[in-house]
Amino acid sequence: MGLSPMKIRNGFVSNSSSSSFLLASHSKLTKENLIKCFQVSKTSPLFPIVKKIIKIILDESKKYTLTNYVKEAYCVEENDVEEEIKNNTILKKIKKKGFKNIYLFYASDEGGGIEAALCEMEIKYEDKDILIEKEGGY
């Protein structure tokens, strides 16, 4: 009975984490339509934090069509996109509501600050014009 070989990790090992967020909207993603999602008054002491979160969202978002998003995010071929949408609650909702603009952004805790806090937040928002959903993290 022999010993199992030891596995050795080469390279940098990190304890950092990141999260991805899916945004879907009928119109272009703007500062104004994101401000209403956070429901924080401009006179609130939290408003500067909301503005920083919105800046991160706008700076880090990548725009997709629903089909392209599904193909890339779920690694499926063109002919499997509809099946993936049918079996995914969020994607099904996006299609049903007719959202044409799909955005994905990532937040990492590496730099600390507001972006690190985003990794820990459970952001979930939906109205007739926009949907924001935390997809996952590691």
* Tens digits of residue pLDDT in 43-86: 999 999 999 999 989 998 999 999 999 999 899 999 999 999 99
| Local confidence band at 119 (pLDDT 50, 70, 90 cut-offs) | confident
Q: Is the pLDDT of residue 9 over 80?
A: no
pTM beyond cutoff 0.85: no
Instruction: Kindly give the interhelix angle for 47-60 and 113-120, rounded to the nearest 10 degrees.
Output: 80
Domain definitions of the chain by residue range: 19-137
Coil, strand or helix at 19: strand
Percent of the chain whose pLDDT exceeds 90: 57
Q: 122 — alpha (psi -120 to 50), left (phi > 0) or beta?
A: beta
* Residue 97 contacts residue 16 (beta carbons within 8 Å): no
Q: Is the pLDDT of residue 11 over 50?
A: no
| Local confidence band at 137 (pLDDT 50, 70, 90 cut-offs) | low
